Amino acid sequence: MEAKSDRSAWLKGPAFPCEVISTNVTRPWRIVLLGAPGVGKGTQAELLTRQLGACHLSTGDIFRTAKCLREDERSPAMTAALEYMRRGDLVPDTTVLQMVRERMSCLRCQGGFLLDGFPRTVAQAEALQNLLQEQNLTLDAVLDFELPIDEVVARLGGRRTCEACKAVYHVTGRPPKKEGVCNQCGGPLVQREDDRPESVRVRMEVYEKSTAPLTEFYRRLGLLVPVTAQSTAEATLERTMVALQSREQEASQSDKGAPSLVRGPA
Please indicate, yes or no, whether residues 38 and 118 belong to a single structural domain of this protein: yes
pLDDT tens-digit profile of 13-30? 887 877 665 556 668 899
Predicted pLDDT of residue 90: 87
Residue 19: its pLDDT value, please?
65
CA distances from residue 91 to 84, 94, 124 in whole angstroms, order as listed: 6, 8, 12
Q: Residue 74 belongs to what domain range?
A: 2-146+211-254
pLDDT value at residue 22: 58
* CATH at 83: 3.40.50.300
In a domain, 107, yes or no: yes
What percentage of the chain has pLDDT greater than the value 90? 52
| 80 and 57 assigned to the same domain | yes
pLDDT score recorded for residue 3: 44
Cβ-contact 190, 215 below 8 angstroms: no
Same domain, 119 and 47: yes
265 domain residue, yes or no: no
Same domain, 18 and 62: yes
Residues annotated as catalytic are: 41, 120, 159, 192, 203
Split at pLDDT 50, 70, 90, the class of 266 is very low
Residue 264 has pLDDT above 50, yes or no: no
Q: How large is the average pLDDT for residues 132-136?
A: 94
Same domain, 66 and 42: yes
Q: Are residues 133 and 184 in the same domain?
A: no
CA distance 174 to 192: 16
Q: Is residue 201 part of a domain?
A: no
Q: Please check whether residues 221 and 168 belong to one and the same domain.
A: no
In the chain, the number of structural domains is: 2
Indicate whether 10 and 83 sit together in one domain.
yes
Give domain status of residue 17, yes or no. yes
Looking at residue 4, what is its pLDDT?
47
Q: What is the pLDDT of residues 161-188, one digit of tens each?
A: 999 888 889 898 889 999 999 999 999 9
Q: Are residues 167 and 57 in the same domain?
A: no
Do 121 and 217 fall into the same domain?
yes
Residues 34 and 85 reside in one and the same domain: yes
* Average model confidence (pLDDT) across the chain: 87
Given a cut of 90, whether residue 216 has pLDDT beyond it is yes
